[in-house]
Amino acid sequence: MWAGADEKKLRQDVDRCLKERHGEENQGLLYAAHIAVAGAGGMGSHAAVALARAGVGHIHLIDFDRVDLSNLHRQQYFMRHVGMMKVEALKSILLEINPFLEISISECRVTEENCGELLGDADIVIEAFDDPNAKAMLVNELLERFPEKKVIACSGMAGYSDANKITTRKITENFYICGDGRAGVETEGTLFASRVSVCAGHAANKAIQLILDQK
Amino acid sequence: MRINGEDKNEYIGQSIQEMLEKEAYQLTRVAVERNGEIVPRSSYSQVLLQAEDVLEVVSFVGGG
């Protein structure tokens, strides 16, 4: 996108802007972090954008699906992405925000069999699936097999009731859950970008806090 | 014994699996924390609840 001297200059400028806003030591920790986002729908796409804006250095996006026109009401995609694999589309969005991040993608479903291979390297995993069985499977699998890994899961962001019911709760030393814990799409019948992105903001904020609390 | 902040002494001596079924949880949608640790799913039927246990059952709902 930018050749030679221009790219070097842009990299320095981006680095300077991030360090000015976040602090130099903080930015070093954010650059070094590896975060996996499992699911690139409403939750995952909004959370990933927040992480990219923060300059999280290594972001792994995992999803099996393509962008559909029906996703645009709440997910971080645009008309030009319809038909693309979500992880490809989201990667391109993240690189528009910061072209110097390392964004890796996996086009697949996360299963009990492949989750170790897919997520073993990540310091923090954000669970951003929509199916409650898949959410529980991933959380249990990770916490049983990787007790040192930090897991941020999401449950309860459907509908349009007060957004301030959405919280971040610590369940165990390495397990956090964001959401209101109740409002599922199966009971509410609706999902809005406004409420889903509040929950995604909680998850991304907790991830950033966990990274910066290493100081 | 407390589950999700409520006294549930009626489950003392019963397994986590029995408690989850009686409380009408869907077993494929939960994660169970007991005294600060996640309980492996494979041991739900073996772990018997003790009087001093504090549990949190996280039950996932759909949407993301």
Q: Which residues contact A86 (CB under 8 A, 6 or more apart)?
A: A40, A41, A45, A61, A63, A65, A66, A67, A71, A75, A77
C-alpha span between A66 and A70 (Å, rounded):
11
pTM for the structure as a whole: 0.97
Write down the residue that tokens 């030591």 correspond to: A25
Closest CA of chain A from B60, distance in Å: 5
Is the Cβ pair B33, A140 closer than 8 Å? no
- What residues in A contact B35, CB-CB < 8 Å? none
Select from B30, B56, B62 the Cβ nearest to the Cβ of A184: B62
pLDDT digits (tens, 9 = 90+) for A117-171: 999 999 999 999 999 999 999 999 999 999 999 999 999 999 999 999 999 999 9
Host domain of residue A52: 4-212
What CATH number does residue A201 fall under?
3.40.50.720
C-alpha span between A93 and A81 (Å, rounded):
10
CB pairs A-B closer than 8 Å: 89
A1 pLDDT exceeds 60?
A: no
Q: Which one of 3.40.50.300, 3.30.465.10, 3.10.20.30, 3.40.50.1100 gives the CATH number of domain B2-59?
A: 3.10.20.30
- Total count of domains within chain A: 1
Give this complex's ipTM. 0.96
